[in-house]
Structure 1
Amino acid sequence: MTKSELLDTMYQALRDQGNQAISRQEVIMAVGLILDHCARALVAGERIEIRDFGVFTLHTIAAKAGRNPKTGASVAVPEKRRVHFKPGQAMRRLVNSQ
């Protein structure tokens, strides 16, 4: 699912629930704010926990000595951080029930 598909799905779901006053632009802004806040929280090193969905955390990969495959020379690979997602119990149940 792409971001635009998510926005369309959320907009239609809100309209189906009787929220006729909400505009597509408001849905776009709300989703954008949520995603932006999550990204900023991860940058700050915070853990994001969405109950029944999952947890986003940062894992730090230590610096190491790598090797250039073309020349065989040793290369210093700097430390980096990556986002890790662990699905919640309800999410695992839903995915495995299909």
Structure 2
Amino acid sequence: MNSSNLTRRELAEAIAERLGFSQSNCADIVDCVFDSMKKTLLEGEPIKIVHFGTFSVRSKSPRNGRNPRTGEAITIKKRRTVGFRPSRQLREEINR
């Protein structure tokens, strides 16, 4: 696997290697997982993956900001974004 980014293809290859399924079936599995996650987040529901973390949709209020190129003051509109909170176990492993 590439050390800088983990792609869908690399995930499918890792699953195929570990479980012995065909790469096309594993690619379908990866796509199905991401589609399910996307659908759940679009409905505004959180996704909790035990021993990994929680994905949730967060609402951001409008705020004042500035254009870094011109220095011009602008208002950043309210929006929704996806947040991730790692599990305690994952945080501990990362910080070892």
Q: TM-score range by the shorter chain?
A: 0.7 to 0.9
Residues 28/79 of structure 1: CA separation in 2 closer, same or farther (3 Å cut)? same
Equivalent pairs, count = 90
2:59 is matched with 60
Give, in whole Å, the separation in 1 of the partners of 2:61 and 2:47. 22
Amino acid in the other structure paired with 1:42 = L
Alpha-carbon RMSD across the aligned residues, in angstroms, is 2.0
Long gaps (5+) in structure 1 = 16-21
1:19 is matched with none
Using the size of structure 1 for normalisation, the TM-score is 0.76
- Aligned residues of 2:8 and 2:30 also touching (Cα < 8 A): no
1:49 is matched with 48
Q: Quote the offset at 1:35 in angstroms.
A: 0.5
Long gaps (5+) in structure 2 = 1-5
Amino acid in the other structure paired with 1:23 = S
Deviates more, 1:88-97 or 1:30-39: 88-97
Larger Rg: 1
Using the size of structure 2 for normalisation, the TM-score is 0.78
Identity %: 28
1:14 is aligned, of 16, 19, 24, to: 19
